[in-house]
Amino acid sequence: MLRKMIFLVFSLLIFSTLVSCQSITRESKYITVNMVPKPQEFDGKKNKNNEYKSYLYNTTVKTENSDFNSAISSFSDYANRIIGVEFKTDDKADFVVVLDNKLEKGVYKINVGNTVKISASDETGINNAFATILQIMEKAEKGVYVPAVDIKDYADSQYRGMMVDLARSWHDYKYLLNYVDMCYFYKINVLHLHFTDSESYTLPSNVLPELTTENSSYTIEQINELVEYANARGVDIMPEIDVPGHCFQFQKKYPEIFGKGGVIHLHEEAMVKLELLVDELCVMFKYSTYIHIGGDEAAISNWTQCDDCLDYAETQGIVTQITDKKLLSEQMLAHFVTRMANRVFENNKKPIVWEGFSKDVNDMVSKDIIVMSWENYYQTTPDLLDAGFTVINCSWNPMYVVTPGARWPIEEVFDWTIYKWKPVHSSSPYIVGGLEIEPNDKVIGGQLLAWGDQIKSNYPNVEDGVKKELSLLIERITALSENTWNIEKTRTFDEFNDAASALNVKFGLE
């Protein structure tokens, strides 16, 4: 009896081994694998040269879930453009996309065996998985090589953003599509577009048609195409109308409504028009989760010298007879931000503002408004967190790019985390030593930001400056990706930089 049992167990082991050995009978080779960001969980066999065992697969794909068709189409487009292979749908496909409701939103799995199995519970996860597939697969004479790996991956940070200032220097429409591509490749989920500033209003408008800057604006057809292009790739466009400051175009085109003097005049007609612009923006960017309403660097002290503004403030329950005029102006700003944000909420979207109001009026501002803490100048990040605000880290140093001048080395961007700020303004309390806080769930991510206010003055041909700005963003978006996807460092700078450099070459971004 014992002999029979031993023989049976031995036979099962042999059978299991044979099945395992026969499970992949494809042509194989070892290839170098580069990934940014580094996955949370990754397993695969590699040789002494750090190359991974990979197998040859046909470029065929299938899914039983029609909700994933858009993600498959986007992946197929990139595979053709970047790697030079054409994916087709087939019932016996080698790439199989599976709905797995057991996975949390945004989480994906890649299991490479007899097929390349890609699993997620939503389109976000599938798009992120395909971005990884693009990074790791290699073109073959017939098909593609994919390393035999098991991956389970997800982002530590809810918000992973890149901002581009489109208003101070004209950016041709083609660059907007480039920015979406960069975000897709490196799993940056929010593309923040600063569409308006004193130099121009680059959006079309039916509400205030004269507001649109001639020869420096996008058509409604371009915006519609951008919106669909980004949505298909899982990139959330966050449009920004920057008010009440940065408003020269408003005051130049409609002075009878918005007044003059560096800040939108605070009265009912102006507020109603701005609310209608918010409505228009929310319709234009129908898939957007977030709408940015500005809120910083405004000459709000002018409101305390404006009779119409003071009369309006009184109707809103603000006592205008107080002796502290700075506090009065801050209260008026808090009202402005709140009213604009409420209109965003009414459109079922989330408002975001710059750190621009003081802590003295924190009790007047809804804690559902997300604040971008960029300088710790108007108020500090700890004060914002203590008040209950949700915060996004937009630290000037090292996350700002002002072409061709201000930018920080890629090593410093890599060293940054979503819990570190290095102010530049001399009035910041952290100007000497910077600020680093303990991990806090109210800090939901970070952002890379490109400002275009020096491009025109430094480049006779503005597009040369835009191209330079793009190259600076390309160098840094990989570090943003690494540090917002993985809050804790998972590899050295050299290890990261080798992978990032190789991928930028692969994607044609170098």
pLDDT tens for each residue of 462-487: 999 999 999 999 999 999 999 999 99
Query: What architecture does CATH give domain 159-506?
Result: Alpha-Beta Barrel (3.20)
> How many CB atoms within 10 Å of residue 461?
8
Q: Above 60 in pLDDT, residue 302? A: yes
Q: What is the mean pLDDT of residues 133-147?
A: 97
Instruction: Using alpha carbons, list the distances in angstroms from residue 38 to 131, 195, 246.
Output: 12, 32, 39
pLDDT at 232: 97
**Binning pLDDT at 50, 70 and 90, where does residue 406 land?**
confident
**H/E segment holding residue 192:** strand 190-194
Residues 6 or more apart whose CB falls under 8 angstroms from that of 341 comprise 293, 351, 353, 366, 368, 369
Q: Above 80 in pLDDT, residue 22? A: no
pLDDT at 510: 79
Residues 6 or more apart whose CB falls under 8 angstroms from that of 350 comprise 289, 290, 291, 344, 368, 370
Number of H helices, E strands in the chain: 16, 22
pLDDT at 21: 38
Q: What is the mean pLDDT of residues 21-28?
A: 72
Q: Above 70 in pLDDT, residue 17? A: no
pLDDT at 20: 39
**CA dist., res. 183 & res. 449, Å (int):** 13
**CA dist., res. 349 & res. 290, Å (int):** 6
Q: What is the mean pLDDT of residues 257-270?
A: 96
Least confident of 18-32, 66-80, 310-324: 18-32
Q: Where are the domains of the chain?
A: 24-153, 159-506
Q: Above 80 in pLDDT, residue 1? A: no
Tokens of 302: 């002018």
pLDDT at 469: 98
Angle between helices 173-185 and 123-136 (to 10 degrees): 90
Hey, which CATH number is domain 24-153, 3.30.365.10, 3.40.50.920, 3.30.70.660, 3.30.379.10?
3.30.379.10
* Spatial CA neighbour of 492 closest among 502, 484, 501, 482: 482
Contact 208, 273 (CB under 8 A): yes
**CA dist., res. 70 & res. 281, Å (int):** 24
Amino acid at 153: D
* Spatial CA neighbour of 313 closest among 340, 284, 339, 335: 335
**CA dist., res. 118 & res. 95, Å (int):** 8
pLDDT at 23: 56
Q: In the chain, how long is the greatest CA-to-CA distance?
A: 102
Q: Above 50 in pLDDT, residue 15? A: no
Q: Above 80 in pLDDT, residue 11? A: no
What end-to-end distance do the CA atoms of the chain give, in Å?
Answer: 69
- Summary mean pLDDT of the chain: 95
Contact 418, 397 (CB under 8 A): no
What's the pTM? 0.95
pLDDT digits (tens, 9 = 90+) for 345-401: 999 999 999 999 999 999 999 999 999 999 999 999 999 999 999 999 999 999 999
**CA dist., res. 75 & res. 118, Å (int):** 12
